[in-house]
Amino acid sequence: MSRTRNMVLCAMFTVLVAIGAFIRVPVPFVPFTLQVLFTTLAGLILGPKLGAMSVTLYVALGLLGLPIFASGGGIGYVFQPTFGYLIGFIIGTYVTGSIAYQEENPSRKRLLVACLLGLFIVYFCGTSYYWFIMTFYLKSQIGLWTLFFYCVLLSAPGDIFLCFVTAGFGKRLLPIIRRELEIGV
């Protein structure tokens, strides 16, 4: 891919992830957004490096003060219990892209596994960070069941569904995108 095309695609996915933060599905207790859809799609479409770069740019812009996170923005956001999910988005996008790009024409199953492993990383980072901030910064003890309930159980079913959707999109879009990149459109 050309350098200009890489920059445009990274910027496009950065914007999509930001938009995904504001597309909220109303569920009790936790904000459920479409960020998982766009971060995993970034890994599938852009690959590990460019996908992670686009999500890193999103996080950097939010930390610089743009109110593009689900609950605002600014450097102080690192003290929000949910900041770990943003870290997880970067790592998860990289892993998703790495697994998907191991084959020239990945199967839908491979794409789904890539998305699900990326999602697992998002939840692992998010839950771990949530526990750390609650315990050491906010000095509020949280039980493991409560942590699991609020950080995983409430939103995981919707995000798992989004992984299936993303794998389907990826399977359809990857051949088209790769063909257009070869032609130079």
Q: Tens digits of per-residue pLDDT, 34-91?
A: 999 999 999 999 999 999 999 999 999 999 999 999 889 999 999 999 999 999 999 9
Looking at residue 179, its pLDDT comes to: 77
On average, the pLDDT of the chain sits at 92
| Reported confidence tier of residue 185, pLDDT bands at 50, 70, 90 | very low
112 Cβ partners below 8 Å, 6+ apart?
163, 164, 167
Looking at residue 28, its pLDDT comes to: 65
Averaged pLDDT, 95-122:
96
Task: Give the span between the Cα atoms of 96 and 119, in whole angstroms.
Answer: 9
Tokens at 141, concatenated: 């003890």
Q: What pTM does this model have?
A: 0.93
